[in-house]
């Protein structure tokens, strides 16, 4: 048992508080990682706000990178000193979804008691199966992806969620093909990566839609061919005018109901609407089923970009090292752990691409 400093959430919507917690040693199939960088994702903020419920007190944070410091029994492919990603993708590797190449849909991920507790023994929930707003984490080996040496940890941390969620939504879920028309609604951290994914997949047009003109400028830097303000009258008509037809794929990368309400309007017959952004529980959107049915359109969800870590992380890293994938440019600010509430407040403004905690 070791002591770690962590940012703990004791009440939904309240500021986080730094506290010394006990972290148990890794058990069978588990890995301890010294966190060197952890990005702040809007999913962390939604949990902090109580948007998806959950147990408290808890430590959140799930977009992390660091070095292995200890391994439990049965871990053979990792060793202390290895550079790794820490993700929330916890998978058994044996159920039907895992066996069919969809670990993000694992039916029975291994979950036991949280490795975190207070000095008096009170359990502290391991938020998003990671609890990476802390100096160290203990996670299942399935949540780890090795990294080559030489990639800055603050850059590598982005691969744990924001990059694979956006890029994977375009490549793995939407299966964008060369020559297709793609619309990405939301040009934040995930949206910029969806734009990069659509570009890399060969989309003829990648049309970014956002309420912020500055974000549309950034979207062009990341590969968007066009930008449309979501506040314009009938932005879907503007997209059709640009492309000459409806979109083959529309990716909604923000958890905003107005974005979902309008998304299907951009689609061509046979087009795919991909739900990536996650609103609070209970929030609802609506479509006209008759149009979806009559035009052969489809609506599908994309969780963590349907990523397979062993398959996807190597080629994504390779693209970055070739200079074909922007990662460093996604970082808006670097913060210390004791500045986490300021970093969260800055993230809430919507202006940041990704704020990263540096340990």
Give the per-residue SS3 of the chain: CEEEEEEEECCCCCCCEEEEEEECCCCCCEEEEEEEEEEECHHHHHHHCCCCCCCCCEECCCEEEEEEEEECCCCCCCCCCCEEEECCCCCCCCCHHHHCCCHHHCCCCCCCCCCEECCCCCEEEEHHHCCCCECEEEEEHHHEEECCCCCCHHHHHHHHCHHHHHHHHHHHHCCCCCCCEEEEECCCHHHHHHHHHHHHCCCCEEEEEECCHHHHHHHHHCCCCEEEECCCCCHHHHHHHHHCCCEEEEEECCCCHHHHHHHHHHEEEEEEEEECCCCCCCCCCCCCHHHHHHHCCEEEECCHHHCCHHHHHHHHHHHHHHCCCCCHHHEEEEECHHHHHHHHHHHHCCCCCEEEEEC
Is residue 336's pLDDT more than 90?
yes
Asked if the structure places residue 191 within a domain, the reply is yes
pLDDT above 70 covers a percentage of the chain that reads 100
pLDDT of residue 314: 98
Rounded to the nearest angstrom, the gap between the alpha carbon of residue 359 and the centroid of all alpha carbons in its chain is 20
CATH number at residue 113: 3.90.180.10
Range of the domain at 135: 2-160+326-358
The Cβ of residue 250 has, within 10 Å, a number of other Cβ atoms equal to 31
List, for residues 142-193, the tens digit of each pLDDT value. Answer: 999 999 999 999 999 999 999 999 999 999 999 999 999 999 999 999 999 9
Per-residue exposure over 270-292, b if at least 16 CB sit within 10 Å of its own CB, e if not: ebbbbbbbbbeeeeebeeeeeeb
pLDDT of residue 351: 86
Do residues 186 and 234 share a domain? yes
Do residues 291 and 334 share a domain? no
Dihedral sign for Cα atoms in the order 168, 74, 156, 19: positive
List, for residues 190-225, the tens digit of each pLDDT value. Answer: 999 999 999 999 999 999 999 999 999 999 999 999
Is residue 1's pLDDT more than 90?
no
The Cβ of residue 150 has, within 10 Å, a number of other Cβ atoms equal to 8
Q: What are phi and psi of 296, to 5 degrees?
A: 70, 30
**What's the chain's average pLDDT?**
97
Do residues 156 and 176 share a domain? no
pLDDT of residue 111: 87
Do residues 25 and 103 share a domain? yes
Do residues 147 and 253 share a domain? no
Asked if residue 57 has a cis previous peptide bond (ω within 30° of 0), the answer is yes
Do residues 171 and 218 share a domain? yes
Beta pairing partners, 123:
117
Asked if the structure places residue 318 within a domain, the reply is no
Per-residue exposure over 343-355, b if at least 16 CB sit within 10 Å of its own CB, e if not: bbebbeeeebbbb
Beta pairing partners, 144:
86
Do residues 153 and 6 share a domain? yes
Asked if the structure places residue 310 within a domain, the reply is no
Count the domains in the chain.
Answer: 2
CATH number at residue 286: 3.40.50.720
pLDDT of residue 110: 83
């Amino acid at each position: 048992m070791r002591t770690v400093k962590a940012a703990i959430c004791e009440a939904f919507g309240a500021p986080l508080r730094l506290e010394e917690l006990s972290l148990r040693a890794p058990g069978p199939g588990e890995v301890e990682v010294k966190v060197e960088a952890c990005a702040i994702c809007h999913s962390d903020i939604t949990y902090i706000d109580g948007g998806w419920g959950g147990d408290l007190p808890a430590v959140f944070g799930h977009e992390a990178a660091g070095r292995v410091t200890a391994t439990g029994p049965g871990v053979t492919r990792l060793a202390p000193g290895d550079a790794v990603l820490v993700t929330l993708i916890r998978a058994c590797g044996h159920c039907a979804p895992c066996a069919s190449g969809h670990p993000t849909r694992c039916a029975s991920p291994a979950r036991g008691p949280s490795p975190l507790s207070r000095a008096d023994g009170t359990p502290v929930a391991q938020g998003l199966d990671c609890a990476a707003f802390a100096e160290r984490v203990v996670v299942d080996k399935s949540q780890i992806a090795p990294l080559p040496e030489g990639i800055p940890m603050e850059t590598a941390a982005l691969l744990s969620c924001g990059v694979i969620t956006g890029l994977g939504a375009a490549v793995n879920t939407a299966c964008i093909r060369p020559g297709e028309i793609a619309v990405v609604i939301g040009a934040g951290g995930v949206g910029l990566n969806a734009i990069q994914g659509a570009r890399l997949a060969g989309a003829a047009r990648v049309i970014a839609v956002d309420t912020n003109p500055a974000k549309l400028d950034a979207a062009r830097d990341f590969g968007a061919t066009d930008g449309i303000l979501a506040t314009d009258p009938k932005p879907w008509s503007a997209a059709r005018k640009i492309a000459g037809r409806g979109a083959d794929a529309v990716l909604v990368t923000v958890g905003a109901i107005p974005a979902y309400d309008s998304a299907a309007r951009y689609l061509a017959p046979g087009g795919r609407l991909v739900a990536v952004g996650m609103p609070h529980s209970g929030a609802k959107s609506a479509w006209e089923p008759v149009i979806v049915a009559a035009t052969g359109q489809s609506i599908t969800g994309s969780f963590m970009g349907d990523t397979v870590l062993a398959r996807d992380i190597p080629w994504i890293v390779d693209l970055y090292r070739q200079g074909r994938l922007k990662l460093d440019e996604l970082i808006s600010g670097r913060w210390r752990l004791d500045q986490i509430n300021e970093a969260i407040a800055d993230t809430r403004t919507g202006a940041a691409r990704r704020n990263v905690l540096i340990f």
